[in-house]
Amino acid sequence: MKFESPIQRRKSRQIWVGNVPVGGDAPIAVQSMTNTDTLDVDATVKQVTQLQDAGADIVRVSVPSLEAAETFAKIRQQVNVPLVADIHFDYKIALKVAELGVDCLRINPGNIGREDRISAVINAARDSGVPIRIGVNAGSLEKDLQKKYGEPTPDALVESAMRHIDILDRYDFQDYKVSLKASDVFMTVAAYRKIANQIEQPLHLGITEAGGLRSGTVKSSVGLGMLLMDGIGDTIRISLAADPVQEVKVGFDILKSLKLRAKGINFIACPSCSRQNFDVVQTMNDLEARLDDVTTPLDVAIIGCIVNGPGEAREADIGLTGGSPANLLYLDGVPDHKLENESLVDNLERTIRDKIAQRDAASADDKSEQIIVKG
C-alpha cells in the first residue's frame, strides 16, 4: 500500500473563484500571474492559456487602469480559467471589472479610500457573487504600522490583514481569502501561523519576491512546505523571477512531494553514481522534456543500478532498474521485460504513454458508469 499524506488540513470556509472551490475540503489550488502588458490582449490570452495548459487552477492579471479593465474583459471572454483582477487604489477599476466578469478581486480595502468607495466595491462584489482576496505584503505596509513596529514583522502583517478583514466584517462580507506575504521565510511562516487561528477564511500562501528560478524555488519550497505540513494553505502561488509557467510547475511539484495533489508524472530517480548501467541524468532530462504535456498522475522510478532499483521499481507504476547486459522494466511492481540502452528513452516514453492511455480510458469508463447509475 502506498504511503498517504499524514497532513491534517486546517478547516476553512469554502469560497468559489469562478468554478474553482478554494478552502473547505477542496484540493489546494495552484495560481500564477501574468507578466504581459494587460493592454496587449493577444499576448495576455496566450500566456493565460500557457498557464492553464501547465495546470494553473487560477490566474491573476494586473489591472492598473480603467483602460486595462476594458481589455481585461476581452481577455476574460477568450479564456476559461478563472481570472483574478489585481487592483490597487482606484475603486472605479474594481467596479468596472466586477461588472465585466471578473472571478475574484484582489484588493486591500484600506487603500481604496473613503468609506463610500469601500462599500461600493464590497456591494459590487456581493452583487456579482465575486470573492475578494485581501493581499498584505511586507513591502507595502501602512505607514502607521511601519512606525509602530519599526520594520515589517509577523505581528505587523497580521494587524494589517485584520484591519482589512474588519472592514469586510463590518459589511457582513465573508467570501474572501487572505495572504500575508514577505520575502523572509520566517516572517511569512509566523504570520500565517498566527492568522490561521484567528479567521476561518481560506489562506493564499506565497513567499513574495522569492528570487530566480533556483533560489526562489528553494525559498518557496522551504516556507510553503513548513506551512503545508501544518495543514495551513488553501491556494498557493510560487513567486519567481522566471517564466510564470515555471511557477505552476514548481507549485505542483511541492504539492506532489507532500502528497497533497497528484498531477503529471512523479519521477523517482537516483542521482547516479559509478554503479549506474545507463546515463540516468540524460535519461531523466529526455523523459521530462518529452513528457512535459502529461497531466495524468503516474509514479515512474528511474534507478541506475540494482542496489535500490528493484525496491523502488516495485513501488512505482513503472520502474526501471539498471542492469547488465540489459536493464529491467517493472510494470505495476512486477518484472516485465528488459530494455537495451540504445533505445531506452524511446521505449520508456512509449511504455509510459501506453500506461497513461490505459489509465485515462479506465477513468473515462468509471465516469460513464457513474453517470448511468445517477441517471
More confident residue, 200 or 364: 200
Return phi, psi of residue 126, to 5°.
-65, -45
pLDDT of residue 103: 97
Taking residues 66-72, report their average pLDDT: 96
Which tens digit of pLDDT belongs to each residue from 42-62? 999 999 999 999 999 999 999
Residue 1 has pLDDT above 50, yes or no: no
Residue 110 has pLDDT above 80, yes or no: no
pLDDT of residue 55: 92
pLDDT exceeding 70 applies to what percent of the chain? 96
